[in-house]
């Protein structure tokens, strides 16, 4: 097959990679380890696919994706929900690893998702620290909630665990900061982001680690990527309320918290938020618009390598 007519779908699990090729019914399985991925890269190089598509699986796909991209193959990592919706649309309701690989390959052939730049090793390490921080914050919240309803006999143990996790969280924040400062490039980008009122370490690290496209897409594309672009819900004469959904939920959640701060301390976002509320916008809708505005400003700053300036941000 020529690169113009060949598409590959890979279903990822902890132990195996199931591979399907479209058009045709070629299928094989390799182990999800160094030897298996080596075999996969060698075989796909001989096939010369136009596009290789994998689902995002919480990091299990990173080893294979990095090796494939490093071998010069075009790779797209897509949201599993997109593939599930596509499978239902074409009537593929049965589910096995082999069938999933075939559906992903067909999705690649029909939809042809755009390959995204791969995060480098430093970004992946930063993302791992960030994921661990989210886990610790979640566990800390759970323990604090348990403390209120706990019997006196276990309260001491819970308080001790809370103190321990708070220390671990502080250490992890130090690790995140030191990881950023080790690389001149990361340090420059972190300084650029944190120069914006309302942007703290958590949002800066999240954007650097999980949005490598920042500064490389236009304002509409970056908003859609993160999931803060309003989507129409119209049909016939019905004109539904536009809503935001999809995108990168973890990035969006962090952006939300930063925007709450920005509505108080960032002069551009504060004025924008008050103007929307004064015009009758619901506070939640106004805050979503501010999230999009803040993301657009940061994207423009990255694209033009421009430090925070209120006058510049007004036109971003």
Q: The domain that contains 59 carries what CATH number?
A: 3.30.420.10
Same domain, 105 and 200: no
Same domain, 39 and 85: yes
Same domain, 199 and 303: yes
Q: Determine, yes or no, domain membership for 158.
A: yes
Same domain, 300 and 272: yes
Q: What is the 3-state secondary structure (H, E, C) of 209-236?
A: HHCCCCCCCCHHHHHHHHCCCCECCEEC
Same domain, 153 and 80: no
Same domain, 298 and 201: yes
Sheet of 16-22, strands arranged across? 27-31, 16-22, 7-12, 51-55, 75-78
Mean pLDDT, residues 181-202 taken together? 87
Q: Determine, yes or no, domain membership for 55.
A: yes
Q: In this predicted structure, what is the pLDDT of residue 238?
A: 45
Angle between the 283-304 and 267-278 helix axes, to the nearest 10 degrees?
Answer: 150
Report the DSSP beta bridge partners of residue 16. Answer: 31
Same domain, 39 and 156: no
Chosen domain end from 182, 197, 215: 182
Distance between CA atoms of 9 and 76, rounded to whole angstroms? 10
Contact by Cβ (8 Å): 265, 290: no
Cis check for the bond before 23: say yes or no (omega within 30 of 0).
yes
Q: Determine, yes or no, domain membership for 92.
A: yes
Q: Determine, yes or no, domain membership for 19.
A: yes
pTM assigned to the model: 0.64
> Tens digit of pLDDT for each residue in 147-157?
988 999 999 99
> Tens digit of pLDDT for each residue in 250-277?
899 999 999 999 999 999 999 999 999 9
> Tens digit of pLDDT for each residue in 108-142?
999 988 887 666 677 777 878 888 888 999 999 99
Q: In this predicted structure, what is the pLDDT of residue 119?
A: 64
Chosen domain end from 91, 111, 131: 111
Q: Determine, yes or no, domain membership for 191.
A: yes
Chosen domain end from 131, 155, 182: 182
* Structural domain harbouring 99: 7-111
Is the pLDDT confidence value at 299 over 90? yes
Tell me how many domains the chain contains: 3
Same domain, 242 and 306: yes
Q: In this predicted structure, what is the pLDDT of residue 18?
A: 93
Report the DSSP beta bridge partners of residue 28. Answer: 19
Same domain, 304 and 233: yes
Q: Determine, yes or no, domain membership for 1.
A: no
Q: Determine, yes or no, domain membership for 2.
A: no
Same domain, 209 and 176: no
Q: Determine, yes or no, domain membership for 38.
A: yes
Angle between the 121-149 and 201-210 helix axes, to the nearest 10 degrees?
Answer: 130
Same domain, 190 and 315: yes
Same domain, 12 and 57: yes
């Amino acid at each position: 097959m020529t690169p113009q007519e060949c598409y590959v779908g890979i279903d990822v699990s902890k132990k195996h990679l199931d591979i399907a090729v479209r058009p045709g019914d070629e299928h094989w399985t390799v182990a999800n380890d160094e030897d298996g991925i080596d075999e996969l890269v060698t075989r796909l190089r001989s096939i010369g696919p136009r596009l290789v598509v994998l689902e995002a699986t919480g990091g299990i796909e990173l080893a294979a994706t990095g090796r494939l991209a490093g071998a010069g193959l075009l790779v797209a990592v897509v949201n599993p929900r997109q593939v599930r919706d596509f499978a239902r649309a074409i009537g593929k309701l049965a589910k096995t690893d082999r069938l999933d690989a075939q559906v992903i390959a067909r999705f690649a052939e029909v939809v042809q998702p755009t390959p995204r730049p791969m995060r480098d090793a430093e970004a992946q390490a930063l993302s791992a620290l960030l994921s661990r921080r989210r886990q610790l914050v979640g566990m800390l919240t759970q323990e604090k909630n348990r403390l209120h309803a706990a019997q006196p006999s276990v309260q001491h143990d819970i308080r001790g665990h809370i103190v321990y996790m708070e220390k671990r969280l502080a250490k992890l924040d130090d690790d995140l900061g030191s990881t950023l400062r080790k690389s001149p490039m990361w340090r420059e980008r972190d300084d650029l982001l944190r120069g914006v009122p309302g942007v703290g370490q958590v949002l800066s690290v999240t954007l650097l680690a999980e949005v490598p496209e920042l500064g490389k897409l236009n304002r509409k594309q970056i908003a859609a990527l993160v999931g803060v672009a309003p989507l129409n819900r119209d049909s016939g004469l019905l004109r539904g309320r536009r809503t935001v959904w999809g995108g990168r939920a973890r990035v969006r959640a962090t952006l939300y918290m930063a925007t709450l701060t920005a509505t108080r301390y960032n002069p551009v976002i504060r004025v924008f938020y008050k103007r929307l509320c004064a015009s009758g916008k619901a506070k939640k809708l106004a805050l979503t618009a501010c999230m999009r505005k803040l993301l657009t400003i940061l994207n423009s700053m990255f694209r033009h390598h421009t430090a925070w300036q209120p006058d510049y941000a007004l036109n971003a």
